Amino acid sequence: MAKVTSKLQLTLPKKIAEAHGISPGDQIEFESAGDVIRIYRREADVMDVNKASLSQAERLRLFEEATKRQRARERTLSISKDQSEVADREWTREALYDRVRSD
| Higher pLDDT, residue 53 or 38 | 38
For the chain, domain boundaries = 11-76
| Residue at 97: amino acid letter | Y
pTM: 0.38
Examine the pLDDT at 54 and tell me if it is beyond 90. no
Q: What is the mean pLDDT of the segment spanning 44-65?
A: 74
* Mean pLDDT, rounded, of the chain: 77
- Report whether 60 contacts 73 (CB < 8 A): no
Mean pLDDT over 65-70 rounds to 90
Could you tell me what percentage of the chain is helix, strand and coil, using 3-state DSSP and rounding each to the nearest 5? 50, 10, 40
Say what percent of the chain tops pLDDT 90: 8
Quickly count: other Cβ atoms within 10 Å of residue 22's Cβ: 19
Contacts of 22 (CB under 8 A, 6+ apart): 12, 16, 28, 41
For residue 5, pLDDT beyond 70: yes
